[in-house]
Amino acid sequence: MPHTSRHYDIYPRSPEHALWLAVLDQVIRDAFDVAGGPARDDARRWLTEGSSDLHLVCGFVGIDARRLSQHMRDLAERDEWFGEAEDQAAA
């Protein structure tokens, strides 16, 4: 019996599923990249705007794109992109 998380089965079920998981993993890593740059900005925009492409990729891996986008928007509104709030407070 495959292991499943509380909400989603996130373990690769096929090579294609593994590929789309890797795509989503990379864009999330890019969004939290403390070095900044255009890739980070693009990733954050892609994750928070809930584009049809995001919905397509999330659909391929079995993740609720609306929920993911909302969570990312919540982080952005609170400036909680991996310690940025703490960095800004210390400045």
DSSP states along 15-80:
HHHHHHHHHHHHHHHHHT-TT-SHHHHHHHHHHHHT-HHHHHHHHHHT--HHHHHHHHHHHHHTT-
pLDDT, one tens digit per residue, over 25-74 is 999 999 988 888 999 999 999 999 989 999 999 999 999 999 999 999 99
Domain assignment present for 8: no
pLDDT value, residue 75: 87
Domain assignment present for 63: yes
Domain assignment present for 29: yes
pLDDT value, residue 26: 94
Domain assignment present for 31: yes
Total domain count, the chain: 1
Q: What is the pTM of this model?
A: 0.72
Domain assignment present for 4: no
pLDDT value, residue 87: 47
Domain assignment present for 36: yes
User: Which domain, by its residues, includes 59?
Assistant: 15-90
Domain assignment present for 5: no
Domain assignment present for 19: yes
